[in-house]
Amino acid sequence: MASHRKSRSTGTRVAGIRTPALATAALTSVALLSQTANAAPSDDRPSLEEVEKKVDDLYRQAGSATEKYNAAKEKTSKQRKKVDTLLDDVAKRTQKLNDARTELGSFASAQYRTGASVPESATLLLADSPQDYFDQNQLMNRLTGRQKTAVDDYVTQQSETMKKRREATEGLDTLTDSQNDLKTAKSTVQKKLATARELLSELTAEEKARLAAIEKKKQEEAARKAAELAKQQAAAEQEERKRQEEAAQQQGSGSSSGSSESSTPGSSTGTQAQKALAFAQAQIGKPYVWGATGPGSYDCSGLTQAAWKAAGVTLPRTTYDQVNAGTTVSVSQAQPGDLVFFYDDISHVGLYVGDGKMVHAPKPGAYVREESIFYDGESSIYSVVRPA
């Protein structure tokens, strides 16, 4: 016969005591809350990978702001020279205007001393613009040839002086705008770098060691990619030499050595590239300092500009302008001395050495060094430009 006893509610035992299901749920909730509370601090803290990405982004943003700073600094320097020239011109024209005014005054004084009654001339000297009287036929008929010349000269000097003063005022306004842009760019660089330093300072010794290991792995991968590019370039050069030798033999010249030279840049161009590269390599070990152009320190575009200047080629100051200062070639066609640009905002540049490597001034806290062009991944390469 079936039992009519009520079934007991399912429960669990805690320390040998059966607990109802509701109590079990409560205990579970408490345990979960306790675990969440304990985990909260670590959840709020970014992972090492997130810190690395954030720091890299900050350095790139600082690099971009540095190029804006360089552009603003160059513009400010040029504008200051222009304003100085304008102010100097205003001073000279003002002196000429004063001389013309003095000469007119001497005519009036002579007329008063001789008792001549020429009230129009006296009024002329008190007027803001002698041109008001210059066109009056009655007055002009009374003036001597020398006096007419003096009036004409005064009018011309006054007009030119006012024009130069307006140009100087506009120039000063433009200079103020450039100086404000310079301050903004400088502040942006400083803030980005300060944030990056703060993030790095919060890492533990263990995290810093792990970060160094991650960086080492990236460098190893970059070196591997550089070696692959070096092999590809060597194979392409060998194939080109073979093709030219065959072409020379078909033409009956039999001069393979002469034809092989055509696969390299022209003699003058090759010499310039060698000089630029030699200069850049001589700077290895010098610190990166944003906005610096040498000789004791460099930023990325300051180094490439100085290197090509040593070879007799003038490059613009910023990466934004340097990228347009030559012929664009593919990465596989890169030759020693070429400029390698990085990132979509073209905020970094290095000087190609060969074998997939370059010399560059990397970032704050680092030094000019030779490194794979794939140091930040293949996708980071924007273009390769041959200056000469």
Which residue numbers are catalytic?
300, 348, 360
* Phi, psi for residue 253 in degrees, rounded to 5: -80, -35
For the residues of 81-136, what is the DSSP string, one character each?
HHHHHHHHHHHHHHHHHHHHHHHHHHHHHHHHHTT---HHHHHHHHSS-THHHHT-
Q: What are the angstrom distances between the C-alpha of 67 and each of 39, 64, 163, 379, 382?
A: 42, 5, 35, 21, 16
Q: How far apart are CA 324 and CA 7, in angstroms?
A: 86
Q: Kindly report the backbone phi and psi dihedral angles of residue 367, in degrees, each rounded to the nearest multiple of 5, phi listed first.
A: -125, 160
Residue 255 backbone phi and psi in degrees, to 5:
-105, 90
Give Cβ neighbours of residue 87 (< 8 Å, ≥ 6 apart).
Answer: 168
* Sheet with 327-329, edge to edge strand ranges: 327-329, 381-386, 339-342, 348-354, 357-360, 369-372
Structure tokens at 306: 């100085």
Residues 6 or more apart in contact with residue 184 via CB below 8 angstroms: 72
**Strand pairing partners for 13?**
18
How many residues belong to the chain? 388
Please list, in sequence order, all residues whose beta carbon lies within 8 angstroms of the beta carbon of residue 17, skipping any fewer than 6 positions away.
none
